[in-house]
């Protein structure tokens, strides 16, 4: 019997999730159907109730419904509670719905496993203090960096986020002008990245052999990547994070970890040929 999954968002036509999960299913021999669903704002809970009531097994959730999905879930994983948002829902055997957030796991797996960059004992700078930053902090902390510094245009927001996670490690916060040190790894999780813009940053934040990661992706390097590369940093975009978070969702649903390398390679090739 075919198990039904879908990705929900608005807009949703651009989503690569059906393509990615279809490849995972073929690779692992799983009998699933994975669709995409456009849902109007305010209608998420009604759609999700109907989807699971009709036998649906799991949903991926993208903008603008990650907070709605968090409210909808009957139970949350630790990383979903830390993120305050849900991008994956799974129907449990007792009929309840589990909410998870796989974004941070996707980021870490891309940085650590695909790129071979080290997080442990490194000085990490996270640019931005919104949902994207919050969603990746717990998995980053699990890699035991030397420190994490959160920098945001609105300093109070960065300070509040740092305080939320300060029990787990040394986390500091500040604005975009003054920084406590140079960094080994810089992750752009800012809203500027989503709009293909570049926050104004001092060059001194780039440590020796610095790695710079932008959580967004596209056919061309982002402005942040171009800025960092021009100053000697090794750079990467977030396509591997996209595939990695999908693999983590697939594992939650099916109990199998797919090999992300072939689909990541194929998607990258297609992006470059556009």
8 Å CB contact between 93 and 48:
no
In whole angstroms, what is the distance from residue 237 CA to residue 212 CA? 9
Q: Is 175 annotated as a binding residue?
A: no
Would the annotation count 196 as a binding residue? no
User: Does 55 carry a binding-site annotation?
Assistant: no
249 known ligand binder: no
Q: How far apart are CA 225 and CA 246, in angstroms?
A: 23
Strands laid side by side in the 183-188 sheet: 171-174, 147-151, 123-127, 183-188, 206-214, 234-236
78 has binding-site annotation: yes
- State the DSSP code for 2: P
Q: Is 87 annotated as a binding residue?
A: yes
16 is in an annotated binding site: yes
DSSP string computed for 56-113 = --EEEE-TT-HHHHHHH-SEE-HHHHHHT--SEEEE-TTS-EEEE--HHHHHHHIIII
For 156-218, give the DSSP string.
Answer: HHHHHHHHHHTTTS-EEEE-SS--SS-EEEEEE-SHHHHTT------GGGEEEEEEEEES---
131 is in an annotated binding site: yes
**130 annotated ligand binder:** yes
Clarify whether 66 is annotated catalytic.
yes
Catalytic residue among 66, 90, 91, 211: 66
103 assigned to a ligand binding site: yes
128 marked ligand binding residue: yes
Binding region: 15-17, 62, 78, 87, 103, 128-132, 152-157, 215, 217, 238, 245
Binding region for NADP(+): 78, 128-132, 152-157, 215, 238
Binding region for shikimate: 15-17, 62, 87, 103, 217, 245
Which active-site residues does the annotation give? 66
């Amino acid at each position: 019997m075919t198990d039904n999954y879908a990705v929900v968002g608005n807009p949703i036509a651009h989503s690569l999730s059906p393509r990615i999960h279809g490849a995972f299913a073929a690779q692992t021999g799983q009998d699933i159907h994975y669709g995409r669903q456009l849902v109007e704002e305010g209608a998420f809970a009604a759609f999700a109730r109907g989807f699971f009531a009709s036998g649906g097994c799991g949903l991926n959730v993208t903008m603008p419904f990650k907070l709605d999905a968090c409210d909808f879930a009957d139970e949350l994983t630790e990383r979903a509670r830390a993120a305050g948002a849900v991008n994956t829902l799974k129907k449990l055997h007792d009929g309840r719905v589990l909410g998870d957030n796989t974004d941070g796991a996707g980021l870490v797996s891309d940085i650590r496993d695909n790129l071979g960059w080290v997080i442990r004992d490194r000085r990490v700078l996270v640019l931005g203090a919104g949902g994207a930053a919050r969603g990746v902090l717990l998995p980053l902390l699990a890699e035991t960096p030397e420190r994490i510094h959160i920098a945001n245009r609105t300093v109070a927001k960065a300070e509040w986020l740092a305080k939320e996670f300060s029990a787990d490690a040394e986390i500091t916060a500040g604005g975009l002008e003054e920084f406590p040190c140079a960094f080994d790894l810089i992750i752009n999780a800012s809203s500027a990245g989503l709009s293909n813009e570049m926050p104004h940053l001092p060059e001194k934040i780039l440590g020796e052999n610095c790695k710079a990661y932008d959580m967004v992706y596209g056919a061309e390097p982002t402005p942040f990547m171009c800025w960092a590369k021009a100053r000697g940093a090794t750079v990467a975009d977030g396509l591997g994070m996209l595939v990695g978070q999908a693999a983590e969702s697939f594992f939650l649903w099916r109990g199998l970890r797919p090999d992300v390398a072939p689909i990541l390679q194929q998607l990258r090739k297609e992006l470059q040929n556009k």
